[in-house]
Structure 1
Amino acid sequence: MNATEEILTLPGGPTMVRWRRHAQARRVSLRIDPRGGGVVVTLPARAGRRAGIALLMTHADWVAERIAALPRAIAFADGAEIPINGLSHRIRHLPDGDPAGARGSAWLASGTLYVTGGAEFLTRRVGDFLRAEARRRFSALALAKAAMIGRRPARISVKDTRTRWGSCARDGVLSFSWRLVMAPPFVQDYVAAHEVAHLRHMDHGPCFWSLVEDLTPWRAEGVRWLTGEGARLLRIG
């Protein structure tokens, strides 16, 4: 699978288009990319660019409407407000460091995420802080839930995925989107339970869902929140 990006002028205006060629795809398809604010065109091995352009033009109004409906993008910047564990926190840049000299490069206190150092490092340091928080939180959640079923993940990692909140590989490696650290704790609990349940059941059959509900009381609420609010997390940072 490979991908390229370009800006095309569609009837709705200039639009970022990400082309993906996927050997297992059976037909040309479109989907909106909440993270990038554009559209993804997936082409089967034998389909040409012309087929993708034709589908784009046929659904140009749908593409324009869906992109316009995306949540507002929020950059990691001084004064910006971002959610952490479902609660709003304001980013405050301290270029001269912690006045008390006791903190590191980023820390939370009283609803504020403080970040030190040069302005050119702000975005990276906020991202690094959130990734570290996600790794710490999901490692604890996944290990605790895995112990409940007598299993242990081979490894736990956090990634910046576009289409999945989590995954479980056949070798027992669990991966989670670091962006989930911005979601409420009950959502994190559900996603951790979902992926840990795959350590026993790799499908999504009745036994899998029964195990998910044994591991978390938040299945329905977690799915509902991710369906309604998940795109907002992809627009941050």
Structure 2
Amino acid sequence: MTQHFLPGNPPISITLRRSARARRISLRVSRLDGRVSLTLPKGVPEREGLAFVREKEAWVRGQLDQRPDRVRVALGIDLPVEGRLLRLRDGTGRSIRVQDGEMLVPGAADRTAARVQGFLKQIARERLAAASDRYAERLGRKYTRITLRDTRSRWGSCSSAGALMYSWRLVMAPAGVLEYVAAHEVAHLAEMNHSPAFWARVEDIHGPYLEQRRWLRKSGEELHRYRFED
């Protein structure tokens, strides 16, 4: 893996990778972090790959321009929680409270992001544990544990040992989306694949899921706009 730069205003960093499995040159712009990746098949000269990037420069810059702006979590911003926007305001007392379309965050302003993140993780754990319990009971299987992470490549996973992992950012999505992801991962306790039998399990324990799945594909990446640390 090597690093190159596409000149211009601004210059664009290009991560070049080689893959023995690749059949053709491919160029990808991550909508999560803006990383531009160029993958070359074995035997394709580096200069040919870089020439390909130059030909696609307008496309690359267009993709970067379409990325949602990042939002630093602080007092005064609107933050999605269970699918609705809450305005972060200065609060009193010791605990965060939600009322009248606002999230009231007490304490020093420079601790707002950390306190809000902790609050969201707490809600996420409660919602995901309840959903996982409910779907596991419907499936007739048991999971071993639940962990929360801030993953970017997936919203959840299920290990062969029955351990469930979820992104805590799911609590920012509409409640039905969190429910779908929980059902999806619990269904893997019975089917460790994405076969028709697996999707039948998801529908059996959850009901129709296409609307929630489409929401994740279309809007899920926007949940990563919100930055809780510098």
- What is the distance in 1 between the residues matched to 2:161 and 2:44? 33
Instruction: Give the equivalent residue in structure 2 for 1:85.
Output: 82
Are 2:105 and 1:115 equivalent residues in the alignment? Answer: yes
- What is the distance in 2 between the residues matched to 1:44 and 1:170? 33
Tell me the C-alpha RMSD between the 2 structures. 2.9
SS at match of 2:198: helix
Instruction: Give the equivalent residue in structure 2 for 1:139.
Output: 129
Shift in Å at residue 38 of structure 1?
Answer: 3.5
SS at match of 1:13: coil
Determine if contact 2:17/2:37 at 8 Å carries over to the other structure. Answer: no
Which residues of 2 match residues 181-192 of structure 1 at below 5 A?
Answer: 181-192=171-182
Name the % identity. 39
* Aligned pair partner of 1:172 in 159, 162, 168: 162
Shift in Å at residue 50 of structure 1?
Answer: 6.6
* Aligned pair partner of 1:38 in 28, 32, 35: 35
Structure 1: runs of 5+ lacking an equivalent: none
Describe the shift of the 1:160–1:58 C-alpha distance in structure 2 as closer, same or farther (beyond 3 A). farther
Shift in Å at residue 20 of structure 1?
Answer: 8.3
Q: Which amino acid aligns with 2:207?
A: P
Q: Which amino acid aligns with 1:36?
A: D
With 42-51 and 162-171 compared, the bigger mean Cα shift is at 42-51
Are 2:212 and 1:217 equivalent residues in the alignment? Answer: no
Q: What TM-score comes out, normalization by structure 1 length?
A: 0.81
Determine if contact 2:6/2:54 at 8 Å carries over to the other structure. Answer: no
Which residues of 2 match residues 1-150 of structure 1 at below 5 A?
Answer: 8-11=5-8, 13-15=10-12, 19=15, 26-27=21-22, 29-41=26-38, 53=50, 56-94=53-91, 98=92, 101=93, 103-104=94-95, 106-150=96-140
Determine if contact 1:190/1:218 at 8 Å carries over to the other structure. Answer: no
- What is the distance in 2 between the residues matched to 1:42 and 1:129? 40
Describe the shift of the 1:113–1:224 C-alpha distance in structure 2 as closer, same or farther (beyond 3 A). same
With 167-176 and 41-50 compared, the bigger mean Cα shift is at 41-50
Q: Which amino acid aligns with 1:231?
A: E
- What is the distance in 2 between the residues matched to 1:167 and 1:51? 38
With 169-178 and 29-38 compared, the bigger mean Cα shift is at 29-38
- What is the distance in 2 between the residues matched to 1:121 and 1:128? 11
Determine if contact 2:29/2:63 at 8 Å carries over to the other structure. Answer: yes
Q: Which amino acid aligns with 1:109?
A: Q
Structure 2: runs of 5+ lacking an equivalent: none
What is the aligned residue count? 225
Describe the shift of the 1:182–1:41 C-alpha distance in structure 2 as closer, same or farther (beyond 3 A). farther
Cα-to-partner distance string for 1:186-217 (whole Å, 9 max, x where unaligned)? 11111111111111101111110001111212
- What is the distance in 2 between the residues matched to 1:152 and 1:114? 38
SS at match of 1:92: strand
Q: Which amino acid aligns with 1:192?
A: A
Determine if contact 1:134/1:181 at 8 Å carries over to the other structure. Answer: yes
SS at match of 2:11: strand
Instruction: Give the equivalent residue in structure 2 for 1:152.
Output: 142
Describe the shift of the 1:16–1:233 C-alpha distance in structure 2 as closer, same or farther (beyond 3 A). farther
Shift in Å at residue 107 of structure 1?
Answer: 2.9
